[in-house]
């Protein structure tokens, strides 16, 4: 790439240069800078391609048409200090895309709005405001012509963006001046994912597509679903209005105040999870006509899976889980569009990737998240904020390899894998198990005996951490053996040693269960409460012991039943951890016994809010309000089609698959899921042979 990072002149605007590395930067003055240049091409191109990045967020327009917004997030972790040495440039193809450029265009009027301050955790910056664009036009004869950001571009602050929550059209933009190269030398990596899709969404009720408000009046606008979106509106006259966004009634996700001095459109700069908006006319000369709408933003969808059965509530559970996954798929997987947390939430994204297998099929986003995480693990010596979650990354890597067959991805992650496992080997104590990690998070979103299982004390979290470590090092040994890595034997020896120590330390023979951790004293820290001399049992430890074959094989079924039965003496878990419970059911061969009954737990939650998936079903605190855009509990979108089709990946990357359709008590089931070859469809009716449609080129077999 041959272009320069540019920004507004530091000699004129010294206070509008720096930004925070990530998070909600409220320090100093906010700024939206505007950059423009008209590029005159020497001929009519066959194609025009752009690589674009910006700090913290840019919006790009070409010839008056919106092209896209970004950049793709660099990822990062809650432990981020300083700035990352790598960032991503979004890739756009402008021509012959008629939505952006009309045919026979030789002139490109480029304009970008760039917000200086990060307003979401995912907005990783280089610490300095900047905009980068490199373009290349290709002509019919194969020749190319390049252009990009440099000091010939014009730039100015747009003073109408007063603050992150205030826009005042009465403020005049600054004069245009020459942009100034920043000297930024950060590594820019072309984003290996397509640009996000945007779609205009109108209010659910047609009569609200245009509303009329007098000063002092307000109205609530409802949308058919919760969207990952930028709210927008168009007014027919000058006015001052306030817009507050909600997921559901009472669950506000932020508000903005907008002053327009003429008829026109306002489009928010902040991605939110929006199910409704409240619009209030603060000032206007008479009634104002307002057209409210959303710009729905998400990772592109090219194929879709579906579920249709004779149980409409089961179908709705699948659909709500699938929808929530779609709004969480941005330039990285999100825990939710409301929270927009970093790559630290590995457990969320592992489950979301498995959901993707039966809903959208495109694993490029998952592969990029995995590689970003590997890069972070190398950069930070194997340390991530959430210890349990960082270990789940190894399972995630292996799952995506199975679905893509991408050996290169695994090789590129080798360094991160080595760093991660060496760090955890350093936490092994004299008893042969992990005894001195910095924390035991994350287990589940519940409170147990007064402690949050987000970051529990040792006696509540140690066994789970050891179980995830065992699974990580055992999976790493399998990966290493597959590729002939020298460290594979060492990893297998460590797994064998840990399994023996795990049973010695955590199995309670009298109870016939695994305890949640040892009660020896620990030093308290911010993310690890002081330990308590107490013995505790849960579904968490016993589920994972059965799922990962840490227990004797004769105990797998017994412990799985103990962790699954609703009448078990062990307290229930949240939707997030149900993913592992359902995996354990399949691992123990108890699918026939439990069938689809476990998915009954999701039905009341979906009845209450069919617009998006709630964060949980057990409030960790009486006053806590769950968001309704959280995909980590959406495992039914994976497990229901998995059970009904009996899908097996026989050879990685869909080189060969197996199917074993079953109805599990249903009268009818029509399941479709995407593959690189096209959509597989399996239709079952009670008393009839399944009808299976497989795309050409995909090898498969029945595996009853």
Same fold, 6-191 and 198-298: yes
Cα–Cα dist 139/141, whole Å: 6
Q: For the residues of 394-435, what is the DSSP string, one character each? A: HHHHHHHHHHH--HHHHHHTHHHHHHHHHHHHTTB-TTSSB-
**Which uninterrupted H or E stretch holds 70?**
strand 65-70
Q: What pLDDT is recorded for position 28?
A: 63
Give buried/exposed letters for 591-624 (b at 16+ CB in 10 A, else e). beebbbebbebbeebbeebbbbbbbbbeebeeee
Query: In this structure, what are the phi and psi dihedrals at residue 491, rounded to the nearest 5 degrees?
Result: -65, -40
**Looking at the predicted structure, is the pLDDT value of residue 27 above 70?**
no
Q: Looking at domain 6-191, which of 3.30.930.10, 3.10.150.10, 2.60.120.260, 3.40.50.720 is its CATH number?
A: 2.60.120.260
**Looking at the predicted structure, is the pLDDT value of residue 605 above 60?**
yes
Q: Looking at domain 426-552, which of 1.10.150.130, 3.30.420.40, 1.50.10.10, 3.90.230.10 is its CATH number?
A: 1.50.10.10
- List, for residues 137-187, the tens digit of each pLDDT value: 999 999 999 999 999 999 999 999 998 889 999 998 899 999 999 998 888
**Looking at the predicted structure, is the pLDDT value of residue 261 above 90?**
yes
Q: For the residues of 459-497, what is the DSSP string, one character each? A: HHHHHHHHHHHHHHHHHHHHHHHHHT-TTHHHHHHHHHH
Lowest mean pLDDT among 307-316, 435-444, 623-632, 682-691: 623-632
Cα–Cα dist 139/392, whole Å: 48
Q: What pLDDT is recorded for position 620?
A: 83
Give pTM, 2 decimals. 0.96
Q: For 346-356, what is the mean pLDDT?
A: 97
Q: What pLDDT is recorded for position 103?
A: 64
User: Distance from first CA to last CA of the chain, Å, rounded?
Assistant: 53
Residues in the chain: 704
Strand partners, 137: 48, 145
Cα–Cα dist 510/308, whole Å: 47
Percent of the chain exceeding pLDDT 90 equals 88
- List, for residues 526-548, the tens digit of each pLDDT value: 999 999 999 999 999 999 999 99
The more confidently predicted of residues 645 and 252 is: 645
Going from N- to C-terminal start, the domains of the chain cover 6-191, 198-298, 426-552
Q: What pLDDT is recorded for position 129?
A: 95
Contact between 91 and 228 under an 8 Å Cβ cutoff? The reply is no
Q: For 203-208, what is the mean pLDDT?
A: 96
Contact between 177 and 156 under an 8 Å Cβ cutoff? The reply is yes
**Looking at the predicted structure, is the pLDDT value of residue 613 above 60?**
yes
Cis status, amide bond into 285, omega within 30 of 0: no
**Looking at the predicted structure, is the pLDDT value of residue 619 above 60?**
yes
**Residue 371 corresponds to which tokens in the numbers above?**
């590689």
Contact between 156 and 174 under an 8 Å Cβ cutoff? The reply is yes
Q: What pLDDT is recorded for position 104?
A: 72
Cα–Cα dist 63/105, whole Å: 10
**Residue 95 corresponds to which tokens in the numbers above?**
């021509």
Angle among Cα 388, 393, 398 to the nearest 5 degrees reads 135
Q: What pLDDT is recorded for position 26?
A: 63
Contact between 291 and 232 under an 8 Å Cβ cutoff? The reply is no
**Looking at the predicted structure, is the pLDDT value of residue 98 above 70?**
no
Cα–Cα dist 99/119, whole Å: 30
Q: What pLDDT is recorded for position 249?
A: 86
How far are the Cα atoms of 51, 599, 698 from residue 695, in angstroms, in the given order? 35, 30, 6
* Dihedral (Cα; 353, 358, 364, 368), 10-degree rounding: 0
Contact between 247 and 253 under an 8 Å Cβ cutoff? The reply is yes
Q: Which pLDDT band holds residue 420 (cuts at 50, 70, 90)? A: very high
Which class does domain 198-298 fall in? mainly beta
């Amino acid at each position: 790439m041959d272009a320069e990072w540019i920004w507004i002149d530091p000699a004129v605007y010294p206070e509008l240069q720096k930004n925070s590395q990530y998070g909600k930067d409220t320090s100093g003055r906010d700024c939206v800078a505007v950059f423009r240049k008209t590029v005159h091409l020497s001929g009519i191109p066959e194609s025009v391609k752009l690589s674009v990045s910006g700090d913290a967020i840019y919006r790009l327009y070409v010839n008056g048409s919106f092209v896209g917004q970004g950049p793709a997030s660099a990822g990062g972790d809650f432990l981020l200090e300083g700035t990352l040495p790598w960032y991503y440039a979004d890739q756009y193809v402008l021509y012959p895309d008629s939505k952006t450029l009309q045919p026979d265009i030789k002139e490109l009027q480029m304009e970008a709005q760039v917000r200086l301050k990060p307003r979401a955790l995912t907005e990783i910056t280089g610490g300095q405001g900047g905009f980068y664009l490199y373009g290349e036009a290709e002509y019919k004869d194969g020749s190319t012509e390049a252009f990009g950001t440099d000091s010939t571009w014009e730039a100015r602050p747009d003073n109408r963006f007063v603050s992150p929550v205030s826009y005042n059209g009465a403020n005049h933009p600054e004069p245009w001046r020459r942009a100034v190269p920043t000297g930024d030398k950060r590594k820019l990596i072309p984003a290996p994912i397509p640009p996000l899709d945007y779609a205009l969404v109108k209010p659910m009720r047609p009569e609200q597509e245009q509303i009329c408000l007098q000063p002092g009046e307000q109205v609530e606008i409802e949308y058919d679903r919760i969207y990952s979106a930028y709210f927008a509106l168009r007014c027919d006259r000058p006015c001052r209005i306030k817009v507050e966004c909600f997921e559901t009634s009472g669950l506000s996700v932020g508000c903005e105040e907008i002053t327009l001095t003429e008829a026109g459109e306002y489009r928010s700069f902040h991605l939110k999870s929006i199910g409704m908006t409240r619009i209030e006319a603060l000032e206007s000369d008479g009634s104002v006509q307002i057209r409210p709408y959303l710009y729905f933003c998400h990772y592109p969808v090219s194929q879709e899976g579906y579920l249709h059965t004779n149980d409409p509530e089961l179908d709705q559970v699948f659909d709500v889980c699938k929808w929530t996954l779609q709004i969480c798929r941005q330039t990285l997987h999100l825990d939710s569009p409301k929270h927009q947390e970093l790559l630290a939430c590995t457990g969320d994204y592992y489950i979301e990737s498995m959901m993707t297998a039966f809903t959208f099929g495109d694993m490029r986003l998952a592969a990029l998240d995995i590689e970003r995480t590997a890069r972070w693990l190398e950069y930070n010596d194997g340390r991530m904020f959430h210890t349990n979650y960082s270990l789940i990354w190894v399972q995630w890597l292996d799952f995506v390899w199975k679905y893509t067959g991408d050996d290169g991805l695994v090789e590129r992650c080798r360094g991160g894998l080595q760093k991660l496992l060496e760090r955890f080997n350093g936490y092994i104590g004299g008893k042969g198990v992990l005894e001195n990690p910095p924390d035991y998070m994350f287990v589940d979103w519940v409170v147990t005996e007064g402690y949050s299982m987000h970051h529990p004390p040792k006696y509540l979290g140690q066994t789970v951490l050891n179980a995830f470590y065992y699974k990580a090092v055992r999976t790493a040994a399998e990966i290493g053996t597959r590729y002939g890595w020298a460290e594979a034997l060492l990893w297998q020896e460590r797994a064998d040693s840990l399994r023996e120590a795990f049973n010695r330390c955590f199995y309670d023979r009298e109870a016939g269960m695994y305890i949640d951790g040892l009660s020896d004293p620990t030093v308290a820290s911010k993310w690890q409460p002081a330990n308590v001399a107490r013995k505790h049992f849960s579904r968490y430890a016993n589920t994972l012991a059965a799922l990962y074959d840490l227990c004797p094989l004769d105990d797998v079924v017994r412990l799985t039943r103990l962790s699954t039965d609703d009448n078990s003496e062990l307290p229930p878990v949240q939707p997030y951890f149900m993913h592992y419970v359902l995996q354990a059911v399949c691992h123990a061969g108890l699918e026939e016994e439990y069938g689809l009954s476990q998915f009954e737990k999701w039905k009341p939650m979906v009845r209450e809010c069919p617009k998006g998936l709630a964060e949980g079903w057990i409030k960790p605190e009486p006053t806590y309000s769950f968001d309704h855009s959280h995909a980590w509990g959406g495992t039914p979108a994976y497990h229901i089609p998995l059970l009904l089709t009996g899908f097996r990946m026989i050879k990685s990357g869909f080189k060969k698959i197996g199917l074993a359709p079953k109805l599990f008590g249903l009268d009818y089931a029509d399941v479709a899921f995407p593959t690189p070859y096209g959509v597989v469809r399996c239709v079952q009716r009670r008393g009839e042979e399944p009808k299976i449609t497989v795309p050409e080129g995909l090898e498969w077999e029945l595996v009853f």
